[in-house]
Amino acid sequence: MAKQRQTIRDHTAEANLFTSRALISVVVVTSFMLLILGNLYDLQVRQFEDYQTRSNGNRIKLLPVAPNRGLVYDRNGTILAENRPVFSLEIIPEEVSDLEATLVALGELMTLTDSEIKRFQKERKRQRRFKPVALRSQLTHDDVALFSANQHRFPGVTIEARLSRFYPFRDTLTHMLGYVSKINKRDLEKLQDSGQEANYAATHDIGKQGVEKYHEKILHGQVGYQQVEVNSQGRIIRVLDFQPPTPGSDIVLNIDIELQKKAQEELAGRPGAIVITDTRDGGVLALYSSPSYDPNLFVHGISQKNYSALLNSRRSPLLNRTTQGRYPPASTIKPHLALLGLEEEIIDEKTKIRDRGVYKLRNVAHRWRDWKKGGHGIVDVTKSVEISCDTFYYDLAYRLGIDRIHESMTMFGFGEYSGIDLHEESAANLPSRGWKRARFNEPWYIGDTISVGIGQGYWNATPLQIAQSINTLVNKGVRYTPRLLKGYLVEDQVIDEPVIMKEPVVVKNEKNWDVVLDSLYGTVNREHGTAYRAFRKTEYISAGKTGTAQLFTVAQDAEYEEENVAKELRDNAMYVGYAPYDAPEISIAVTIENAGGGSANAAPLARNVMDFYFSQKKGIVASSHIEQVKTDVQNRTIEAISGGE
Amino acid sequence: MAANNKSKIKSNKATFLERIHIDGFLLFSLMSLMVVGLLTIYSSGGQEQELVNRQLVRLGLAVGVMIGLAQVPIMFYRRIAIYAYSLGVFMLIAVLLFGDIGKGAQRWLDLGFIRFQPSEIMKLAVPLMLAMFISRKTLPPNFGNIAIGFALVFVPTILIAKQPDLGTSLLVASSGIFVLFLAGMSWRLIGFIGALGVTFAPIMWFFLMKEYQKQRVITFLNPESDPLGSGYHIIQSKIAIGSGGVEGKGWLQGTQSQLEFLPERHTDFIFAVFSEEFGLIGVFGLLIMYMCIILRGLHIANRAQDAFSKLLAGSITLTFFVYVFVNMGMVSGLLPVVGVPLPLISYGGTSMVTLLAGFGILMSISTQRRLLSRAT
């Protein structure tokens, strides 16, 4: 049938028709092929660079590598903050054939808690199978040893080490050294604002307090990068390039850890502060705030329970009393006011008053009492410091007026930040008319000035400010900014930071310094001096001033009886001093809260610390030399007294 | 034996290949592409010998089918066309009713001893049926026969599209329409149908297309709108191709494919792997190889002795081109993503067998000409 039909068809016409359609097809096919080629040309030639960039963007990743944090040493090379490896047990799920069995076996080895396993399982589900997941984050040395011995049984389970901060002296350096802790949201925002975010891309911890915070930039270092090729799941195929991180600088502090430990030992947990500085350059040798706590608690995240215990303690252990504690400076500022009186020629070396134990002003009903009932009798400026006569200073302050006091005491650093390399600092308060107006919207009364005359009333200061002010006296007006940072450790060589000077206190009459310093000498070395008993028979000559700060206003007709006053309202004991007298090296400021009188409670403690300091360097200062100096000074004093009379 | 006898005159000289009804040129071109395919699969499959071995087995099977079908006289195909077509439509209906669901679509028919996709049969049954139907009358066909022809095309097309398998339905439809075109359907009618298609496109969009198919079109129009979702394939594919540049990154060196950024890299998107590793130069060579096959196929069609053979050979060849064009177009972002493999290169079994079965028929047409003319 097919054959029959074919015979009547015009085969040539059909063939020609087909040929023409086939030719059209060839043209169409060719043009479509050219279209494909044109598109490929567009992608592979014209847009080549764009796609090459995107292809590299796909496969090349920069992995930040955290720099090692700089170490912190004391002035003698003792390490104060170090990096210790912490070990964590990690599992790479992909490499473990039977995860359940592995967990059971590990549990037999080191008893895993339910919460550890739970956290691990949760984390595992969120991670790619080839990424390690931590099972236990802080292994004990026993765990490490135990696992290492059994490692062959656990393919896919590894121990990873990470460096973490450790403070070997624990609560001895807490407030001053501070601590590092995990970078939180607020830290991150600050890093973003300062453009430091990239530098911290791999960093775990950041300085939160103290030196760790203040010198964060120096200690942190510069982030490094690993350029790696990754596949679409983020698995690292190979490392293409490595730019190592620059570790943070190792720093040396002015702190003498032995002195710091001595300060801690002397305060013995009583709330208070000890500041020891080098009078020659402002270097801070010891800065101890009591009570303290162990900063290592914060490094790995403090528990809520421990934290609220610290936060809510009535003894405020979180407060850095040395720089944030605001105490009335009390009698410790008498020498400064004496200097001001001499300078302003309101008094001179010979000015004497008769102290009957009470100070009165004409037409004022209020009586200002001296600490000594019945008064000190005839008192000149030198004796006023030595015996700490209040009446002398009531009168001096009255005659100076608050404006002159404010101006002068500001020059000594009161009411201002000391500039120490710590962020935790208070400027405390040196009152003025303007301050009182702004604060209470009240005028300044004469009575306010009279309280200021004995370092009470609205006046308060930090122990560091007090230490700084005595240094200014010792250095006859030359002022150094107190510094913790001594220098950098570069290849076992300490490169010292320059000493920072402040605007000096300038006097009209240089002799006035000697009068004031001599009164400090007398406080310690003359029998009537308030610190004489505490410093008897020292092997060095020191000078200083005691202070007893009233926290409780005694009623006009009542007596202060220690037993009748609540513990937290009892007097603060204070002492500020320096040594050796003829060639000053160190100064010390001691504040003990609610301990009572300064000469009985603070001065002996200061002596113990100074004894310790000089016993450490006994070999250097020969005792015969001390005797020589002692006689020299005695002679000079006798001259001064006889000359005066 | 006879092939070695050089004394025979040219027309009687039958080489070994001719004696087993194999078109040497076509076979060489196909084999060359298969080699390229194996190399690319080796590279894209993470250099796994196993993958290449499995593909080799499939290729062997497919080539066997091709050689087998080449032995069958063309008249046989003409005779079974209507049965193949009827059986195919019947099975497509069965698939819709009882088929297994794989990858979200009902494509597989499980006959107990064998599982297969009836839509694959239609890739050959439709051109067979159409060529048989149209070649019964003189060419060009009249309007009525064209209308019936369209009906014959669209019944299986719609059945396959409903599975849903847009790629295969597209191939099946084009294989039928190519027969009508080659048979000499008038240009006015082509224009009219084109216009009708444009009119019906919105209707298709709103009433016939599934959500995921619409998504593909949206993604195609603007892949960057969803770079991690449905646009991911096409973006990664274009990055692979574009970053290959003129010379390519070198065999086994394509980062997009080696590092697994490119999805479906040894199946539908293998062209991107090839382009990344061999560059524009490689692509140009590949297109030449495909053109060789297409031109050879059209040549075979043109010199075939009867209308049925001409139409069938032409349709098989042009459908092969559609495979190439649609795959390359979708991988390089010219066309929306429809599941069409790159013929002879992509890893995969079923479509490879169907494809080479088509070439077997083409070889039968090419080499049995003489036998047929003797018989006539």
pLDDT band at A557 (very low <50, low <70, confident <90, very high): low
A613 or B215, higher pLDDT: A613
Distance from CA of A129 to the nearest CA of B (A): 16
Residue B240 contacts A where some CB pair is shorter than 8 Å: yes
pLDDT band at B6 (very low <50, low <70, confident <90, very high): very low
**pLDDT tens across B128-155, in order?**
999 999 998 888 888 899 999 999 999 9
- B298, A59: Cβ pair inside 8 Å? no
- B182, A18: Cβ pair inside 8 Å? yes
pLDDT band at A524 (very low <50, low <70, confident <90, very high): very high
DSSP secondary-structure letter at A70? P
Asked if the model's pLDDT at residue B114 lies above 70, the reply is no
| A positions 182-241 inside 8 Å of B (CB) | 229-233, 237
Q: What is the pLDDT of residue A141?
A: 85
Round the average pLDDT of chain A to a whole number and report it.
89
Residues of each domain in chain A carrying CATH 3.90.1310.10: 63-253
Asked if the model's pLDDT at residue B103 lies above 60, the reply is no
Tally Cβ neighbours within 10 Å of residue A158.
Answer: 15
- A40, B239: Cβ pair inside 8 Å? no
Of B137, B157, B150, B136, nearest to B192 by C-alpha is B150
Dihedral in degrees, nearest 10, Cα atoms A114, A115, A119, A122: 60
Round the average pLDDT of chain B to a whole number and report it.
85
On whether A389 is known to bind a ligand per the annotation, the reply is yes
- Rounded Cα distance between A477 and A550, Å, is 29
Q: Are A67 and A220 in contact (CB under 8 A)?
A: yes
pLDDT band at A363 (very low <50, low <70, confident <90, very high): confident
- B182, A51: Cβ pair inside 8 Å? no
- Rounded Cα distance between A281 and A487, Å, is 13
pLDDT band at A566 (very low <50, low <70, confident <90, very high): confident
- Rounded Cα distance between A427 and A462, Å, is 8
Domain ranges of chain B: 22-71+217-368, 78-209
Residue A356 contacts B where some CB pair is shorter than 8 Å: no
B349 or A384, higher pLDDT: A384
Strand order in the sheet with A236-243: A60-65, A224-230, A236-243
pLDDT band at B111 (very low <50, low <70, confident <90, very high): low
DSSP secondary-structure letter at A336? H
Of B170, B171, B169, B163, nearest to B94 by C-alpha is B163
Q: What is the pLDDT of residue B340?
A: 86
Of A491, A463, A441, nearest to A590 by C-alpha is A463
pLDDT band at A167 (very low <50, low <70, confident <90, very high): very high
At A611, list the tokens.
């004894």
**pLDDT tens across B248-264, in order?**
999 999 888 888 888 88
Question: Smallest Cβ distance to A44: which of B244, B298, B314?
Answer: B244
pLDDT band at A301 (very low <50, low <70, confident <90, very high): confident
* Range A63-253 has CATH code 3.20.20.140: no
Burial class of A280 by CB neighbour count within 10 A (0 to 12, 13 to 18, 19+):
middle
Q: What is the pLDDT of residue B342?
A: 94
Dihedral in degrees, nearest 10, Cα atoms A354, A358, A363, A364: 150
Question: Smallest Cβ distance to B294: which of A2, A29, A59?
Answer: A29
Angle between helices B232-244 and B307-331 (to 10 degrees): 90
The model's pTM is 0.72
Average pLDDT (A208-229) is 93
Average pLDDT (B60-70) is 94
- A44, B241: Cβ pair inside 8 Å? yes
Q: Are B310 and B229 in contact (CB under 8 A)?
A: no
Asked if the model's pLDDT at residue A291 lies above 70, the reply is yes
Active-site residue list of A: 331
Highest average pLDDT, of A125-129, A225-229, A332-336, B1-5, comes from A332-336
Per DSSP, the residues of A548-590 read EE--SPPPTT----GGGS-GGGSPEEEEEEEE-SSS--EEEEE
Q: What is the pLDDT of residue A606?
A: 96
Q: Looking at beta carbons, which residues of chain A come within 8 Å of B245?
A: 44-45, 48, 52
Residues 6+ apart with CB under 8 A from A323: A175, A287, A418, A420, A422, A424, A425, A426, A462, A463, A464
Distance from CA of B113 to the nearest CA of A (A): 36
At A48, list the tokens.
């080549």
- SS3 (DSSP) at A179: coil
Q: Looking at beta carbons, which residues of chain B come within 8 Å of A30?
A: 291
Measured between alpha carbons, how far is residue A581 from residues A509, A586, A625 in Å?
21, 10, 13
pLDDT band at A642 (very low <50, low <70, confident <90, very high): very low
Average pLDDT (B349-372) is 82
**pLDDT tens across B306-345, in order?**
899 999 999 999 999 999 999 999 999 888 887 789 999 9
Residue B271 contacts A where some CB pair is shorter than 8 Å: no
Question: Smallest Cβ distance to B287: which of A33, A43, A233?
Answer: A33
Residues 6+ apart with CB under 8 A from B166: B213, B338, B339
Q: Which of A95-109, A317-331, B56-70, B359-373 comes out lowest in average pLDDT?
A: B359-373
- SS3 (DSSP) at A139: coil
**pLDDT tens across B234-290, in order?**
889 999 999 999 999 999 998 888 888 888 888 889 999 999 999 999 999 999 999
- Rounded Cα distance between B44 and B51, Å, is 10
Question: Smallest Cβ distance to B261: which of A15, A52, A58?
Answer: A58
- Rounded Cα distance between A548 and A2, Å, is 132
B74 or B109, higher pLDDT: B74
Asked if the model's pLDDT at residue A629 lies above 60, the reply is no
Q: What is the pLDDT of residue A142?
A: 86
Asked if the model's pLDDT at residue B126 lies above 80, the reply is yes
At A368, list the tokens.
């200002």
Size of interface A-B (CB pairs under 8 A): 138
Q: Looking at beta carbons, which residues of chain B come within 8 Å of A55?
A: 239-240, 242-243, 255-256
| B positions 276-335 inside 8 Å of A (CB) | 279-280, 283-284, 287, 290-291, 294-295, 298, 301-302, 306-307, 310-311, 314, 318, 321, 325, 328-329, 332-334
- SS3 (DSSP) at A353: strand
ipTM score: 0.90
Residue B372 contacts A where some CB pair is shorter than 8 Å: no
Average pLDDT (B350-359) is 90
Q: Are B141 and B177 in contact (CB under 8 A)?
A: no
Asked if the model's pLDDT at residue A3 lies above 70, the reply is no
CATH class, domain A257-308+320-644, is: alpha beta
- B242, A9: Cβ pair inside 8 Å? no
**pLDDT tens across A31-56, in order?**
999 999 999 999 999 999 999 999 99
| A positions 19-58 inside 8 Å of B (CB) | 19, 21-22, 25-26, 29-30, 32-33, 35-37, 39-41, 43-45, 47-48, 50-52, 54-56, 58
Asked if the model's pLDDT at residue B115 lies above 50, the reply is yes
Question: Smallest Cβ distance to A39: which of B78, B239, B334?
Answer: B334
Burial class of B294 by CB neighbour count within 10 A (0 to 12, 13 to 18, 19+):
buried
Q: Are A223 and A66 in contact (CB under 8 A)?
A: yes
Burial class of A412 by CB neighbour count within 10 A (0 to 12, 13 to 18, 19+):
buried
Average pLDDT (A249-268) is 95
Residue identified by tokens 């002015």 is A254
Report the 3 state secondary structure along chain B: CHHHCCCCCHHHCCCHHHHCCCCHHHHHHHHHHHHHHHHHHHHHCCCCHHHHHHHHHHHHHHHHHHHHHHHCCHHHHHHHHHHHHHHHHHHHHHHHHHCEEECCEEEEEECCCCEECHHHHHHHHHHHHHHHHHHCCCCCCCHHHHHHHHHHHHHHHHHHHCCCCHHHHHHHHHHHHHHHHHCCCCHHHHHHHHHHHHHHHHHHHHHHCCHHHHHHHHHHHCHHHCCCCCCHHHHHHHHHHHHHCCCCCCCCCCHHHHCCCCCCCCCCCHHHHHHHHHHHHHHHHHHHHHHHHHHHHHHHHHHCCCHHHHHHHHHHHHHHHHHHHHHHHHHCCCCCCCCCCCCCCCCCCHHHHHHHHHHHHHHHHHHCHHHHHHHC
Average pLDDT (B121-126) is 93
On whether A74 is known to bind a ligand per the annotation, the reply is no
On whether A142 is known to bind a ligand per the annotation, the reply is no
